[in-house]
Amino acid sequence: MTMNTHPSLPEFEYVQPATLAEACEFLASHAVEARPFLGGTDVFVRMRDGFLTPQFLVDVKNLKGLNDLHFDPKAGLTLGAAVNMNRVIASPEVKAYYPLLAEACRSVASYPLRTRATIVGNICNASPAGDTIGACLTLDGVLHIHGINGPRQESMASFFLGPGKTTLKLGDVVTAIHFPIPPKGCVGMYLKLGRNQLSDLSIVGVTALGYPDSNCKSGYRFRLALASVAPVPLVPTQAETYLANHSITPESVHEAARLSTDACSPIDDVRGSARYRKQMARNLSAKALAEVWKKLN
């Protein structure tokens, strides 16, 4: 082990591109030395701790459109990448149509930090512990990305490759996340287990979303996402499939919780042991599913 008693922000150059194209070009031409940032709530901490040493920080949060929060009753919600979490929480449309998203944001850090922290930043940081990622996964978020070859879209489901690793390519800037109108009658919930009540990282987090779906045997479809139990934010598809094919009973909820635990591969770290995380993945999955089921009826 090592000791660092004087962590300090390393020297870097601050770059503020005028256009998206300029940003992409700069990032592409400074392969390893440049990094985009939004609120910086993760980037600066990781730089201070010596985990990141970018030569250039490319500030993309003032680019055109990145601060837009747009809701269309047909198309859904588009959050510009730089929209901070407190704006998400305060938005009447989010409150009305995507309360799960607001709930997830509220669990992040503290109010002052949430005035800088962004959902897109949380996603790009690609920590398995990201508190808002589960909501984005279960609400079928789609990332709008601007790369050197122009804009494209990518689904959340296939975005994460490992801790801190995503499918983003050199020169890519995520400009927004889009959510379709959620399924009619849907109910969501985020259960976060931290060590204490406020502003902690999750030991385990479970996001559950349920809605009526006539294609399922039970008449309902459930979505699940687990934080801090695998190298990536985890979607336990076996559990989702199981619930789609069985009627919802306390037994089937428990079986689904067991299946979601089987999908976990947690580690021991300073915040919790793998053994405890497995137990919590099961208990919190069961609890979240049961609570959602209760609200659906």
Partner 1 sequence: MAKTDRQDIPSPIGENSPRIDAREKVTGAAIYADDIQFGNSLLHARIKRSPHPHALIKKIDTTKASALPGVKAVVTGEDFPGYIGLYLRDRYIFCRGRVRYVGDPVAGVAAISEEIAEKALELIEVEYEILEPVLDPEFGASPKAPLLHPDLGQYAVVNFIFPQAGTNISNHFKIRKGDVDSAWEKCAAIIERKYRIPQIQHVPIEPHVATAKVDETGEITLWVSSQSPFAQRNLIAESMGISQSKVRVIAPYVGGGFGSKAGVSMEALVVAIATKVKGHPVKLLLTREEEFYTAFVRQGLVAYFKMGCDENGRLLAMENKFYWDGGAYTEYGVNITRASGYSSSGPYEVPNVRTDSYCVYTNHPVTGPMRGFGMPEMHAGLEQCIDELALKIGMDAVEFRKLNCLKTGSTLVTGSKMHATGLSDCIKKTAEAINWGTKAPPSAPNKRRGKGLAIMWKAPAMPPNAGSSAWVELAEDGTVNVGVGGQELGQGVFTVMAQMAAGALGVPYESVRIATPVDTRYSPYEWQTVASRLTWSMGNAVANAAKDAKRQILDTVAEAWEETPEDLNIVNGVVISYKSEREIPLKNLVVYGLPKPGDQGWRGGPVVGRGKFMPAYVTGLDPETGQGERAVVHYTTGAQAVELEVDLDTGRIEIIKGVSTFDVGKAINPEMVKAQMEGGFVQGMSSALFEILQLKDGFVRNPSFVDYRIATSADTPRELQAYIVEVPQDDGPWGARGIGEHSMVPTIPAIANAIYDAVGVRLEGPPFTAEKVYLAMLDAGIVK
Mapped to the 3 state alphabet, what secondary structure does 75-98 carry? Answer: CEEEEECCCEHHHHHHCHHHHHHC
Is residue 294 a contact residue for partner 1 (CB under 8 A)? no
Query: Is residue 50 a contact residue for partner 1 (CB under 8 A)?
Result: no
Residue type, 141: G
Cβ proximity to partner 1: between 183 and 194 the closer is: 194
* Residue range at the interface with partner 1 (CB under 8 A); choices 30-38, 96-104, 163-171, 278-286: 278-286
User: Which residues lie closer than 8 Å to 209 by C-beta, 6 or more apart?
Assistant: 100, 138, 139, 186, 187, 188, 189, 222, 223, 224, 292
Q: Residue 271 CB, nearest distance to partner 1 (Å)?
A: 7
The Cα–Cα gap between 228 and 284 comes to 13
Nearer to partner 1, 24 or 204 (CB): 204
Question: Is residue 2 close enough to count as binding partner 1 by CB under 8 A?
Answer: yes
Q: Find the binding residues for partner 1 in span 175-204 (CB under 8 A).
A: 193, 195-201, 203
Please give the Cα distance from 198 to 195 (Å, whole number). 9
Residues 223-262: x/- map of binding to partner 1 (CB under 8 A)?
A: ----------------------------------------
Name the one range near partner 1 by CB under 8 A: 2-10, 29-37, 64-72, 111-119.
2-10
Task: Return the number of the residue (86 or 199) whose C-beta is nearest partner 1.
Answer: 199
Q: Which is nearer to partner 1, 217 or 275 (by Cβ)?
A: 275
Among 70, 246, 258, 271, binds partner 1 (CB under 8 A): 271
Residue 211 phi, psi (nearest 5): -160, 155
- Cα–Cα dist 15/26, whole Å: 9
177, 81 contact by CB (below 8 A): yes
Q: Which is nearer to partner 1, 20 or 256 (CB)?
A: 256
Whether 236 and 263 have beta carbons less than 8 Å apart is answered as yes
Q: Is 53 in the site for partner 1 (CB under 8 A)?
A: no
CA separation, residue 176 to residues 77, 171, 237 (Å): 10, 16, 26
Binding of partner 1 at residue 275 (CB under 8 A)? yes
Q: Which residue, 216 or 280, is less far from partner 1 as judged by CB?
A: 280
> CB of 200: closest distance to partner 1 in angstroms?
7
Task: Kindly identify the residues of this chain, within the stretch 6-25, that bind partner 1 according to CB under 8 A.
Answer: 6-8
Cβ proximity to partner 1, 6 vs 74, nearer residue:
6
Residues near 206 by Cβ (< 8 Å), separated by ≥ 6?
Answer: 134, 190, 191, 224, 225, 226, 227, 281, 284, 285, 287, 288
Nearer to partner 1, 70 or 287 (CB): 287
Q: Measuring CA to CA, which residue among 226, 237, 220 is closest to residue 287?
A: 226
* The two three-digit tokens of residue 195, written as one number: 């060590």
Total residues found in the chain within this entry: 297
Positions in the binding site for partner 1 (CB under 8 A): 1-8, 193, 195-201, 203, 270-273, 275-276, 279-280, 283-284, 287
